[in-house]
């Protein structure tokens, strides 16, 4: 096991949270990318982009649902317009 300084652990946690990954997966992806960039890994061994987990997809949906609507009218005005049709 590798012991990390508190600053490194905090950075890994922030990176993982930003990417909606586990800390282990975020560190693995960062190391794989760095290994590819520095030539330690051949192009054929470059990591394949992983699919999103269900939790990640739900988090994206929650984020989108929390966004403001583009229609500036109040809900009542929108309903009145729909009822007029």
pLDDT tens digits for range 37-80: 888 876 656 556 677 888 889 988 988 888 877 888 888 988 88
The stretch 12-36 carries a mean pLDDT of 88
**Higher model confidence: residue 84 or residue 13?**
13
pLDDT at 46: 59
Is 23 in contact with 14 (CB distance < 8 Å)?
no
pLDDT at 67: 80
Burial of 36 (0-12, 13-18, 19+ CB in 10 A): middle
Is 59 in contact with 17 (CB distance < 8 Å)?
no
pLDDT at 53: 84
């Amino acid at each position: 096991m590798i012991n990390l300084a508190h600053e490194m652990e905090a950075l890994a946690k922030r990176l993982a949270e930003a990417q909606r990954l586990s800390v282990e997966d975020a560190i693995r992806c960062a190391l794989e990318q760095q290994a590819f960039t520095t030539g330690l890994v051949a192009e054929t061994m470059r990591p394949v982009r992983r699919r999103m987990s269900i939790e990640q997809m739900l988090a994206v949906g929650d984020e989108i649902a929390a966004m403001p609507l583009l229609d500036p009218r109040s809900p009542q005005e929108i309903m009145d317009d729909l009822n007029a049709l």
